[in-house]
Amino acid sequence: MLSGSHRKNNSSYLSLKTLYEENITVKSVAQELEACHKNDEALVIRKALESKNFDIMAVQDQGDIIGYIEREELGEGRISKYLRSFSPRELVSDSTPLIQLLHIFKNKTRVFVLENNSIKKLITHADLQKPPIRMLIFGYITLLEMRLSDIILHRFGDGSWHSMISEDRLDKATELYRRRIDKNEDINIIECLQISDKFDIIHKDQEMRHFFQIPSKSKGRKDANAIRKLRDKISHANELGLDMSWMEIIEVVECCGHLLELSESYQYEN
């Protein structure tokens, strides 16, 4: 049977998961797409784009957006000469969950946002720095940490996990646990472990490595370090996409998603 504590934690987890995967959409990061007219002079528009450091601009005709232009392609003549049509592969609906946007951006640098059959917004790599994306990534890692805590508590509730981390790490968790107990917080000591400690415990148990489909301890440590590194960057408000490329960041989020999906199939019955 599931314990009351686990039912409470699982309910909180599912609420957060629904928020991140269904209720936060691309609307939260999309920016308005500026537009010019198809009969405008291309060189004039190019200068305007350069002054704003924009790479593209939408093109209008009779009030409707009919396509877009790329700054680097503009030369002599009218804008219509350089008009590009929107490809279905460049479009996402404004109701697309934000987590899906990250997967889309694994192989793209921009997408156009479709609102009521009209394209009026754009998302680029720069928009991935915005708070909703950072909140999503941090939230996903937090969800994974919650699941690891629950599983470790169930599997090693007798305290056998103590020998799986260093004495120093155990002392720090114990001290934090005592401080939080003094504040009358409803918590267990496993929740006071760092995420790296929780991964260490999982990696050192053969059954858990098999359950989470971790091919080796070294691969598990590599993924765990990447998750911790990304979580620390976000919590310290560091700019993303610098020493970790967006491809790497998205792969870390996908790794979290994979581990979360596996964790949902964990059987808690005794």
The H helix count followed by the E strand count for the chain is 9, 7
- The pLDDT assigned to 157 comes to 87
| pLDDT of 4 | 43
Q: What is the DSSP letter of 209?
A: H
Of the candidates 73, 105, 128, which is a domain's last residue? 128
Q: Do residues 117 and 146 share a domain? A: no
| H/E element, 124 | strand 118-124
Identity (one letter) of the amino acid at 216? S
pLDDT (0 to 100) of residue 154: 93
- For the chain of 270 residues, list the mean pLDDT of each consecutive stretch of 10: 46 70 88 95 97 94 94 96 94 91 88 91 91 90 92 92 94 94 87 93 93 90 92 85 86 92 82
* H/E run at residue 185: none
Given this model, what pLDDT does residue 186 score?
A: 78
Domain membership flag for residue 49: yes
In a domain, 117, yes or no: yes
Same structural domain for residues 93 and 139?
no
pLDDT in tens, 57-111: 999 999 899 999 999 999 999 999 999 999 999 999 999 999 889 888 888 889 9
> Range of 162's domain?
131-265
For the entire predicted model, the pTM comes to: 0.81
pLDDT computed for residue 8 by the predictor: 47
Alpha-carbon distance of 169 to 172, in angstroms, equals 5
Taking alpha carbons only, the member of 43, 8, 255 closest to residue 137 is: 255
Q: How many domains does the chain have?
A: 2
